[in-house]
Amino acid sequence: MTEREPTDPKASDDRRPGETDPAEKHPDSARSGPARSSFGTRLRGLMLDFDALLDSGLFSLGARTRRAVSAYAAFTERFNLTGVSRFAAGMASEGLTLAVAGALVMLALAIPAFHETSDDWLKRTELAVTFLDRYGNTIGERGVKQNDTVPLEDIPDNLIKATLATEDRRFYEHWGIDVAGTFRAVVTNARAGGVRQGGSSLSQQLAKNLFLSNERTIERKIKEAFLAIWLEARLTKSQILKLYLDRAYLGGGAYGVDAAARYYFGKSVREVNLAEAAMMAGLFKAPSKYAPHVNLPAARARASTVLDNLVDAGFMTEGQVFGARRNPATPVDRRDDDVPDFYLDYAFGEVKKLVDQLPTTVVERNFIVRTGLDPNIQKVADAALETSLAEFGRDYKVRQGGIVVMEPNGTLRTMVGGRDYGESQFNRATDALRQPGSSFKPFVYTVALMNGFKPSTIVQDAPICLGNWCPQNYGRSYMGSITLKTALQHSLNTVAVRLAEKFGRRRIVDLAHQMGIRTPLPISAPLPLGAAEVTLFDMTTAYAVFANGGKSVYPHAVVEMRVGNGEVVWRFDRDAPKSVQIIPTQQLYDINDMLNNVVENGTGRRARLVNSKVAGKTGTTNAYRDAWFMGFTGNYVGGVWFGNDDYAMMNKMTGGSLPAMTWQKVMAYAHQGIEIKPIPGVTSPIPKLDEAPASMTVAGLDNERPITLSPRAAERLAALERMLKEAEVRLTDATPATAPQPAARAAGPAVPGAAPMPAPVQRN
């Protein structure tokens, strides 16, 4: 605390009558004193004011504390509280205070969730979407269709009882949060050694399904609890149960029990028996894990647990469920169904956002959405990820991965969010925050190019320390004076750090955000080495800027949205934000040439293609927790990531090994049968390779991929085909029967794929 200086009697306001201030006698001298004297006087005054305020605050706090202690003492004396009773009263008081404070904190966290509960909340959640691929073929559905809604009284009593016995036995007794049920579920699951009962009430699950995401955070659980209470206050129990049975996702793209019954058993929910009802009731918690078309033994085991719950809850007797145990449900065989669920989940989320932006005149909630999905590239990507993990997962100690492929304009062609959607619906392409390692360095080098550097500029690769942090190169060696292009080719860490120090980390962050990185990027010293966490989807979006000529990218799965009458309510080329130039043309050409050099002569050699130039960058993080390859051609942009969900170390996997090779397999197929476009700034689109990469065969691919044409081109093609057919008919009529027949049309090109991969490289 600051001591107060003694007050000058002459400067005091207690002057004698008629006495004037010396400054008033000599105003000029008062103004002409040094400026620092006036500043010092003001500073001392401010310090004295602050000191007085602090003293006053401490005195006031002490007084309030004394009054509180006195009041507490008076309370205990009045009720003769002593010893243990007095201690208990004190603990109760502290507990009440903490409870009130906790309730206020939880309310503050929950308030944002109530923004979703507008007057039309029920209507806004009634979305039904049919998704088409880029060629117009149906690939899946999301949401609840009107014809999937069945009156509650028509739903079999067996299914309702099975649902309540497993999900919320005290549904008709609680007010949204079942405290007793939660405690019972914890005890039951602990005894069983697994999840037999859920802890969230049915109302809480409905609140999550309607308003929230699936993220497992305390904040979401708090919002879920408050929204459950809100639902209980707004709706009857029957309405809540009806909404829950209509809106729950039960796997296979089925929302609601009627859609699930039709998908799994080929019948209306009105017709399901007890065994089928038990299997369906087991899907609410983990629809993909227990989906019978994915894992029938697991689905039947889960159904048996549901039957146990029916007996334990007293809803049925063992004799009533005996027949269902002896004759478990047999679902429709859908093993051949190949649904791109990760892609559809992302596209459905995109549709929800677009619907909120539509004019109020659009009241329809049933949409037909054409996406950018290429089903064949999707199949190749799925197969490539699975093949890579199956063949090399054990050696590299890696269990997961992700793949994203899009066009340079941001149209999403393929998305693989993990190895097995049935096992885990977590989308590692869009939601996993991982360190990109050296694949982040192109942003650093682009900033350098945009601020005067050239690919030929000489930079220093030498030891550098920023405080106690001394980054080293991958091989712990240094090359001395080299060109900027060579530094990127060898992915030198010291050069990237020096560039960031010279041009500023803030510029790097700003450019990365402009190019499509949406996550926060801490402005820390390791930033240029890819220490900040990003998503694979955002990184692919950012690399699309390199591929499209330096313009901003609007990443999108949705190409066109129509309502039931065929009216187009949203179309990418008409309604999406317009692109703006981010990277100047010359600097873009320079960075693309440098990234092409990385693939031709550097760490990305295993990503080279036979028929197209490739530019890209590898990425490997400390302790080998993440391995990336980000690359592009003039036609496509792709990103591949490998790692473990628990951040466990891999066995020295680098971005130039499995990620680059997996990228090559997917892109080799994607570039078959199309016009090869050059990379902006890279002269020749056709590379010269010593040997062609091996190919693989993927079952279920169309020999000939359809080509997307403009309406005018499609009309011309149709007219040309008619002319050819007419000419063929005339020629056939004029040709003798013994004339040789034309040769059969050759099959489509072979699909690239999985030959044995080379040994892993030890470089990023």
Residues 6+ apart with CB under 8 A from 569: 358, 362, 364, 367, 561, 562, 563
CA 457 vs CA 445, 483, 487, 561: distances in Å: 12, 5, 10, 49
Contact 595, 442 (CB under 8 A): yes
**10 Å Cβ neighbour count for 7?**
10
- Measure Cα distances from 95 to 61, 98, 102, 106, 180 in Å: 22, 5, 10, 16, 21
Instruction: Go through 653-681 and write b for each residue having 16 or more CB atoms within 10 A of its CB, e for each that does not.
Output: bbbbbbbbbbbbbbbbbbbbeeeebbbbb
User: Where is 129: in which H helix or E strand?
Assistant: strand 128-132
pLDDT at 721 over 70: no
Q: Look up the CATH superfamily of 127-339.
A: Biosynthetic peptidoglycan transglycosylase-like (1.10.3810.10)
Helices (H), 360-439: 375-396
Residue 367, C-beta contacts closer than 8 angstroms, at least 6 positions apart: 127, 128, 129, 130, 351, 355, 561, 562, 563, 569
What are the sequence ranges of the domains in the chain? 9-73, 127-339, 440-525
Reduced to 3 states, what is the DSSP secondary structure of residue 414? strand
Residues 6 or more apart whose CB falls under 8 angstroms from that of 194 comprise none
From 133-142, 261-270, 361-370, 451-460, the region with the lowest mean pLDDT:
361-370
Q: Which of 41-55, 174-188, 371-385, 461-475 has the lowest mean pLDDT?
A: 41-55
Residue 127 has a pLDDT of 83
The pTM for the full model equals 0.71
Q: Is the dihedral of CA 381, 383, 386, 389 positive or negative?
A: negative
pLDDT at 565 over 60: yes
Asked whether the CA dihedral 545, 421, 148, 131 is positive or negative, the reply is positive
Q: Which of 214-223, 297-306, 468-477, 530-539 has the lowest mean pLDDT?
A: 214-223
User: Per mean pLDDT, which range of 243-247, 389-393, 486-490 is the poorest?
Assistant: 243-247
Residue with the larger pLDDT of the pair 514 and 142 = 514
- How many residues are given for the chain? 764
Amino acid at 140: G
Tokens 């700034």 found at: 681
Q: What is the pLDDT of residue 310?
A: 96
* Main-chain dihedrals φ then ψ at residue 51, nearest 5 degrees: -60, -40
pLDDT band of 724, cuts 50, 70, 90? low
The mean pLDDT of the chain is 82
CA neighbor of 613 nearest in space, from 546, 561, 697, 710: 546
446-459 pLDDT, tens digit per residue, is 999 999 999 999 99
Q: Report the share of the chain in percent with pLDDT over 90.
A: 55
Rg from Cα positions in the chain: 34
pLDDT, tens digit (0-9, with 9 covering 90-100), for 729-759: 566 555 444 333 333 333 333 333 333 333 3
Is the model's pLDDT at 87 over the cut of 90?
no
pLDDT for 501 equals: 97
440-525 classified as CATH 3.40.710.10: yes
Cross-strand bridge partners of residue 629: 618, 640
Task: Name the pairing type of β-strands 615-620 and 568-571.
Answer: unpaired
Read off the pLDDT band of 317 (50, 70, 90): very high
Task: Judge whether residue 23 has pLDDT over 50.
Answer: no
What spatial distance separates the first Cα and last Cα of the chain, rounded to whole Å? 56
How many H-runs (helices) and E-runs (strands) does the chain carry? 25, 12
Angle at 321 (CA atoms; ends 315, 327), nearest 5 degrees: 150
pLDDT greater than 50 at residue 590: yes
3-state secondary structure of 131: strand
